Amino acid sequence: MSAPISQSEANNKPLMVDLALQGGGAHGAFTWGVLDRLLEEPMIEIEGISGTSAGAMNAAVLIDGYAAGGREGARSALEAFWTRVSDAARFSPFRRGPIDILMGRWTLDASPAFVALDIAGRLISPYDLNPLGSNPLTEILSDCVDFDRLAKAPIRLFVTATNVRTGQGRIFENHEVTPDVLLASACLPFMFQAVEIDGEPYWDGGYAGNPTITPLVRDCAADDTILVQINPVERTGTPRTAREIVNRVNEVSFNATLLKELRMIAVLREVANPGVCEGALWGRMRVHRIANAAMNDLGYSSKMNAEWDFLAYLRDEGRKSADAFMRAHRSDIGVRSTLDLETLLDI
């Protein structure tokens, strides 16, 4: 039995959606796969993208590629970006050990370089470890994104970074985004020096929103938002090792603001009077999520694994997850939410 046709499909109109892209280092290659699959959908038109960290980089690359060459231009740009990331890490000391390779594990837990960095990061400031503040992503972003073209691109971009002084998130839009803005959005304070923008220091946007939903509600007309989630909300068992505890603390803190915004949508959906107040904008938002249980099996250290085989694996998992979502929920876009937000009302 074929799936029912949505109202937008029946009218032969594009399904306008916004995308919300989480960050997570190399795990962002999963989002690459999701985007690659969604760009194959002729009935989906992207109005705006909110992204943090790797999600922000995926968003900027997609939007610039789309401005240059449409859907295929966006797909090619994403592949070129992740290829550059992998090439830059080819001689990195952060590599899997022989046993992990033999066992098919993607973790870097046994990598001497990662273990040394993990310990040093808790004892030594990045201002001492990396006094020049160098980051290989600076050159990659400058080469892969035309920021003048991005400023005028038809798809709206919202990048979140956290102001170190105030602790508040700042949203950067297309015309404000530079390589430094994207690096700031991905700046983990135990690994990198704060990135200064307009005289203010910034850290990873995940502390303020991973990603931030607010600009998609306020500044975009689409009532459907597809969240690409790569950080697990729930994990079974209690973390016991120091590394497991740090990993879970990061996941909880980086998901907290997102869950708060989703709960706000659920609350306002219950009480908002459509067309009367800003709350109605939140209340009518339809939310969908693309995720994959396989991400729960990947630990913190694998976020630094930029081996091409790993990135390709995540890309393929992202494509499969997006394909499964479209098969199951294509007819729901433009009609109803497919993410059960009511469960958040009990929090």
Burial class (CB in 10 A: 0-12, 13-18, 19+), 14: middle
Q: What is the pLDDT of residues 134-147, one digit of tens each?
A: 888 999 999 999 99
Listed as ranges, residues in the chain with pLDDT below 70 are: 1-12, 268-283, 342-347
How high is the pLDDT of residue 108?
Answer: 76
How high is the pLDDT of residue 302?
Answer: 86
How high is the pLDDT of residue 10?
Answer: 47
Return d(Cα 107, Cα 96) in angstroms, integer. 7
* Buried-exposed string 27-42: b where 16+ CB fall within 10 A, e elsewhere: bbbbbbbbbbbbbebe
Q: What is the pLDDT of residues 284-334, one digit of tens each?
A: 789 999 999 888 888 888 888 999 999 999 999 999 999 999 999 999 999
Amino acid at 79: E
How high is the pLDDT of residue 18?
Answer: 97
Q: What is the pLDDT of residues 111-158, one digit of tens each?
A: 777 777 777 777 788 888 788 888 889 999 999 999 999 999 999 999
